[in-house]
Amino acid sequence: MNEQGLAQIPLSGFAAQHLLDVESLSRTDIEAILDRAEFYEKLLTARQPVEKVLEGKIVLTLFFEPSTRTRISFEMAAKRLGADVVNWDFERSSMAGKGESLKDTIRTLDAVQPDALVIRHSEQGAAFLAAEHASLSRAPVINAGDGIRAHPTQALLDALAMRQAKGPLEDLTVAIVGDISHSRVARSNIALLAKMGATIRLIGPRSLMPTSFPGAKVEIYHDLGQGLPGADIVMCLRIQRERMAVGELPEESEYHRRFGMTRAWMDVAGSGALVMHPGPMNRGIEIAEDLPDDPDRSLILEQVRLGVPVRMAVLDLLLGGRGRV
């Protein structure tokens, strides 16, 4: 039955070797990933067995930055599909203290021949560097977040959460609120939503708003009262202080007063509007204490839940799926 279900999902057009950013995916690729994720999600929800399409494969994860959701859901996803997972540990590596460069670390890990590399790094372009240097194993590289640049699997799981809760993305108005400048989540979401034809609004202080958005049509607001009315989805972002220069950091209570999402602001968006947040959240700053737990308003744990089937879909398509066509 599982086999039949998978066979019904078209794989045509998914030609990518790596998943480095949303920009290099086509609309068809995005739909193929979301459809496959939905297939896996149904199996997981029904607690039905999942075909071990990655049996015998080893997924190597390299997280140079802390992570809860992304790392755990990649590991869960790989194991659900029958792969083994090896977690490279920065603290115990030769990069910590012994001065090995990122490039040499990648070449070394490539030489042990993993079947896939999942990488998160604070530098933009780290995943591209990995794709360039993982030439012995020819392992697909999946970007789990590089600096402020891209976080494609987050945008994909956000897209699935929106699609399931609110219908086709092209019909939606999505307001992204907060520290847009330092957010790879915002960049990847903007790229994905633009490809899928959604209306994109960005709301935040001028100091945290980029001045250009190549390739995407966006509406920019600096006031919640102007940007929220009619939004189907309100996506809140953390103030990413670790990526800011001294002096850039806004004052927290003032920021909450102007841009913190509350139930009252959600009412301004509309009675059916839903709030999202990629996590980690800072309650009382970008989002009110009680809003994340409101089952009528919040998609936040749904985003986390969907992270597993979306990453299963990505791993399957990059490593396993093509074997079945």
Residue numbers at the binding site for ligand NCD (CB under 6 A) = 69-70, 145, 151, 154, 184-185, 238, 240, 278-279
Q: Angle 317-318-319 (CA atoms, 0-180°, nearest 5)?
A: 100
Cβ neighbour number for residue 289 with a 10 Å cutoff = 10
Q: Which residue is it, tokens 């997280």?
A: 63
Nearer to ligand NCD, 70 or 181 (CB): 70
Nearer to ligand NCD, 307 or 320 (CB): 307
Nearer to ligand NCD, 138 or 241 (CB): 241
> What is the closest distance, in whole angstroms, from the C-beta atom of residue 191 to ligand NCD in the complex?
14
> What is the closest distance, in whole angstroms, from the C-beta atom of residue 299 to ligand NCD in the complex?
13
User: How far apart (Å, rounded) are the C-alpha atoms in residues 319 and 3?
Assistant: 17
Q: Which residue is it, tokens 């992570």?
A: 67
> What is the closest distance, in whole angstroms, from the C-beta atom of residue 69 to ligand NCD in the complex?
5
Nearer to ligand NCD, 270 or 279 (CB): 279
> What is the closest distance, in whole angstroms, from the C-beta atom of residue 136 to ligand NCD in the complex?
29
> What is the closest distance, in whole angstroms, from the C-beta atom of residue 184 to ligand NCD in the complex?
5
Encoding tokens for residue 272?
A: 């059916």
Nearer to ligand NCD, 52 or 69 (CB): 69
Q: Are 252 and 285 in contact (CB under 8 A)?
A: yes
> Would the CA dihedral through 92, 308, 300, 193 be positive or negative?
positive
* Residue 204, C-beta contacts closer than 8 angstroms, at least 6 positions apart: 177, 178, 179, 180, 222, 259
> What is the closest distance, in whole angstroms, from the C-beta atom of residue 278 to ligand NCD in the complex?
4
Nearer to ligand NCD, 240 or 262 (CB): 240
Encoding tokens for residue 304?
A: 């986390």
Nearer to ligand NCD, 6 or 185 (CB): 185
User: How far apart (Å, rounded) are the C-alpha atoms in residues 201 and 213?
Assistant: 12
> What is the closest distance, in whole angstroms, from the C-beta atom of residue 229 to ligand NCD in the complex?
26
Q: Tell me if residue 203 falls in helix, strand or coil.
A: strand
Q: Give the CA-trace dihedral at 238, 241, 245, 249, to 10 degrees.
A: 70
* Residue 138, C-beta contacts closer than 8 angstroms, at least 6 positions apart: none
According to DSSP H, which parts of the chain are helical? 2-7, 27-45, 69-80, 102-111, 126-133, 152-166, 184-196, 224-227, 252-259, 263-269, 300-315
